[in-house]
Structure 1
Amino acid sequence: MKKMSCYENLVMKTQMNYSRHYSIYASGGTAVVLSKQ
C-alpha cells in the first residue's frame, strides 16, 4: 500500500469521527451535518 497523503489521512480521520459521532448528530437533528453526507 502506498503511503497516504496528508489529505487522504485527513479525510479518513474525518470519516471515522463522523461514523463515531453519527448517533449524536442524528439524535440532535443537526440538519447541516446530515446534509453533508
Structure 2
Amino acid sequence: MQMLKAYAKDFWRYRYLLQNLIGRDFKLKYRRSVLGVV
C-alpha cells in the first residue's frame, strides 16, 4: 500500500510534465488527420 501512495505522489508531483509530454504526443499523432485534436 505504501508503494501505491509513493507512485501516486510521484505522478502528482510530475503531473505538468506528464501532461505536456502526453499532449505533445497526441498533437503529433493527429496533426494531419481531418479533425485533428478536438
If the TM-score is normalised by the length of the shorter chain, which range does it land in?
0.5 to 0.7
Structure 1 unaligned blocks of 5 or more = 1-7, 32-37
Q: Between the two proteins, what is the percent identity of the paired residues? A: 4
> Over aligned residues, Cα RMSD in angstroms?
1.8
Distance 1:12 1:29 in 2: 22
Structure 2 unaligned blocks of 5 or more = 26-38
Which protein shows a greater Rg? 2
If the length of structure 1 is used for normalisation, what is the TM-score?
A: 0.56
